[in-house]
Structure 1
Amino acid sequence: MKRLEEIQRIVETHIEAEIEALNIREPKHLYAPIAYALGNGGKRFRPRLLLMAMEMFSQLTPQGLDAALAVEVFHNFTLLHDDIMDDADLRRGKDTVHKKFNPNTAILSGDAMMISSYNYFKGLAPDLRAKVLDIFTQTALEVCEGQQYDMDFENQSDVEVGAYIEMIRLKTAVLLAASMKIGAIIGGANEVNANLVYDFGIKVGISFQIQDDILDVYGNPETFGKEVGGDIVSNKKTILMLQAMRDAKGDELDKLNEWLSKEVFDREEKIAAITSIYDKLNVRQKAEAIQQSYFDQALESLDQISVSVERKQPLRTVAISLLRRDV
């Protein structure tokens, strides 16, 4: 685990230096919110995974560190705009950017983050930069597509599990996968290996989001990091809810629809009632089976990458740790 901790420190040091630069940049009302958003914590999964993928094929370089910063800035841009769309008050326990400053400032600073993320790739050689920017641009568009599908699902009553998987692939998994593929390409990976790295990231990202759905209902709040049951309260169409809506019959279906249609309710009562329906329909076990299948596919892709087992071990370790959060 020592190398994983070193990567974490390298990422944090690079981000902290960027935050310091942003805090003295003018106009301050544009750049201070960006510094605030970047400094608001997080696990830094994407930059860490980018550098780990790079190290499978070569050594870390300043260009790789800047690429890691690019994906982290872009990721935080998506969170900033998500919070505006959701009118969220808190992000990681602190005021969201639009609450601390104001919505117009947040929108403009978010735009600047998205644009600036491209600038971090300028140190790459022209042919390499062209490859990386093609991936990055396609990924940015796909993340927007995923967000739109997620919003569309709020008003749809007939969302299929397969459509949900595609939504989380776009909204969550593609940026994780692209981060690793970009790192691999900067590290000198050939096309076959780079694509295997990408497939590994897609499958890990999907598996991670499915587990997040499960933990939102069945997780331990102390280890999960947030209060459980939020998805149930908001009628969010998670994989658990979609499985229940598909499998419920008779009284169970009537009870489920009744709770979904209530506008006034006791929070804990609703969570307990719908969790009970989930338990009777075994939707947790079904979701866990899907989650495990994607994770197994991820490891199969990792195994096929043509580098030594030792070089692949850090990514394997991180992937396993992502999927072993306490319940």
Structure 2
Amino acid sequence: MKTNRNIDILVSELNKSIKELNFGGYPAELYEPIEYILTLGGKRMRPLLTLLAYGIKKEDWQKILKPALAVEVFHNFTLVHDDIMDDAPLRRGKTTVHEKWNSNTAILSGDTMSIYVYELLLEAETDDIAYILRQFNRCAIEVCEGQQLDMNFETEERIEEIDYINMIMLKTAVLLGFSLELGGLLGGMTKEEAVKLRNFGIHMGIGFQLKDDILDVYGEQEKFGKQVGGDIISNKKTFLLIKAMELANADQKNTLTLLLQDKEIDSIKKVNAVKELYDELGVKEASEEKMNLFFDKAFATLDQLNEPEESLVELKEFAKSIIARDK
């Protein structure tokens, strides 16, 4: 196994390169929020996937650090705007941009980040930058579609499982897919090979979000890093709630509906009552089955690449670490 693509080294280099990005300095109110959100931390999963995909065929990953950071800048742009829409007070345990400054500043800073993505992508050494930009544009629009669907779901009484899977595919998974596709293309893969990498990332991303839904209810508080049961408290239509409504009999459905509608109920009591219903219905097991289905699809797609197994080791190991996460 090649050692120059060690995950820790890659993450360290990504963090160093983020600090070296020069967005601009004046007016400070526009650029300080960008530096702030990008240095709050995070897993750097998306640019890391770009580097790992590139590394399947090539070893000089330093050449694509800036294009790889494009997906991280775009991801953080979506977080800034999502936090405004959700009126979220915290992001990664710190004050959100719109709370620390104001919503108008957050919108402008986010817009600037979204434009700067193209500057970073244009650093790519490729004979077909137009194709890469079109693939990114498609991904960016799909992320917006997913966010709109997620907001639509807040006011829709009933959501089908297939609709939820489609929403998380757009909102979360397609950017993981593009991150891998970008790395594959820059590493010399054909468009057809890079599409297989993209599909691998999309399947992984869906499984990743389903795991997040499960951890929100069944994760350990000290490991999960945020309030367990938060989705239940906010009546968020996750896969678990959708599956519970599908499996419940009339009495169970009525009980669940009353729990969701009760605005006076103690939050801990609500979480425990809904969780008890989930346990009765086998919702956790059904959700894990669906999650594992997408993880299996991901690895089956990756195995379609005609590449030596040793070239895929680090990418597979990183994917397995995502599957095994407990936070």
Per the normalisation by structure 1, the TM-score is 0.96
Structure 2 contact 42–92 (Cα < 8 Å) conserved:
yes
Helix, strand or coil at the partner of 2:26? coil
Q: Which 10-residue stretch deviates more, 236-245 or 57-66?
A: 57-66
Query: What is the aligned partner in structure 1 of residue 129 from structure 2?
Result: 129
Identity %: 46
Amino acid at match of 1:47: P
Query: Among residues 1, 6, 27, which one is paired with 2:9 in the alignment?
Result: 6
Aligned-partner Cα distance in 1 for 2:192–2:59: 20
- SS of structure 1 residue aligned to 2:299: helix
| Structure 2 counterpart of 1:198 | 198
Deviation of 1:127 (Å):
3.5
Report the Cα offset of residue 26 of structure 1.
1.5
Query: Aligned partner of 1:14: which letter?
Result: S
Judge conservation of contact 2:125–2:186 (CA < 8 Å) in 1: no
Is the contact made by 2:51 and 2:61 (CA closer than 8 Å) also made in structure 1?
no
Aligned counterparts of 1:59 and 1:25: Cα–Cα separation in 2: 34
Deviation at 1:123, TM superposition (A): 2.3
1-side partners of 2:46 and 2:79: how far apart? Answer: 14
Instruction: Note the alpha carbon deviations across 1:172-193, whole angstroms, 9 max, x for none.
Output: 0000010110110011001221
The residue number in structure 2 matching 1:306 is 306
Which is further off, 258-267 or 37-46? 258-267
Q: Deviations over 1:48-90 (max 9, x none)?
A: 0000001112133555111111110000000000000000000
Q: What does 1:281-320 align with in structure 2 at a 5 Å threshold?
A: 281-320=281-320
Report what 1:110 is aligned to.
110
In structure 2, give the amino acid aligned to 1:313. Answer: V
Tell me, in whole angstroms, the C-alpha distance in 2 between the residues paired with 1:202 and 1:87. 28
1:15 and 1:38 in contact (8 A); partners too: yes
Cα offset for 1:241?
Answer: 0.1
Q: Could you tell me how far apart the structure 1 residues matched to 2:280 and 2:61 are?
A: 53
Matched-pair contact (CA < 8 Å) for 1:81–1:107:
yes
Cα distance in 1, alignment partners of residues 68 and 91 from structure 2 = 22
**Alignment match, 1:244:** 244
Question: Partners of 1:196 and 1:126 in 2: how far apart?
Answer: 19
> What do the CA deviations read for 1:5-53 (whole angstroms, capped 9, x no partner)?
11111211111212xx34x622211111000010111000000000000
Across the aligned residues of Structure 1 and Structure 2, the Cα RMSD in angstroms comes to: 1.4
1:51 and 1:60 in contact (8 A); partners too: no
Matched, 1:158 2:158: yes
Tell me, yes or no, if the aligned pair for 2:139 and 2:175 is still in contact at 8 Å.
yes
Alignment of 1:2-41 (within 5 A): 3-18=6-21, 21-22=22-23, 25-41=25-41
Over 3 Å counting, the alpha-carbon distance change for 1:129 and 1:63 in structure 2 is farther
Q: Distance in 2 between matches of 1:155 and 1:63?
A: 46
In the alignment of these two chains, the number of paired residues is 324
Q: Distance in 1 between matches of 2:213 and 2:60?
A: 34
Partner amino acid, structure 1, of 2:18: I
What amino acid sits opposite 1:194 in the alignment? Answer: A
Kept after mapping to 2: 8 A contact 1:128/1:186: no
Query: Which residue of structure 2 lines up, in the alignment, with residue 218 of structure 1?
Result: 218
In the TM superposition, 1:270-281 aligns within 5 A as 270-281=270-281
Cα distance in 2, alignment partners of residues 123 and 72 from structure 1: 15
Cα displacement string for residues 110-144 of structure 1 (whole angstroms, at most 9, x for unaligned residues): 11111111111222356421111011100000000
Unpaired segments of 5 or more residues in structure 2?
Answer: none
CA distance in 2, matches of 1:58, 1:254: 57
| Distance (Å, rounded) in 2 between the aligned partners of 1:184 and 1:117 | 18
The residue type paired with residue 142 of structure 1 is E
Instruction: Letter of the 2:9 partner, please give it.
Output: E
Match of 1:86 in 2: 86
Contact map agreement 1:217 1:275 (CA 8 A) in 2: yes
Distance in structure 2 (CA, Å) of the matches to 1:284 and 1:108: 41
Structure 1 CA distance for aligned equivalents of residues 174 and 264 of structure 2: 37
Q: How far apart, CA to CA, are the structure 2 residues paired with 1:5 and 1:240? A: 34
List gaps (5 residues or longer) in structure 1.
Answer: none
Contact 2:56 2:312 in 1 (8 A): yes
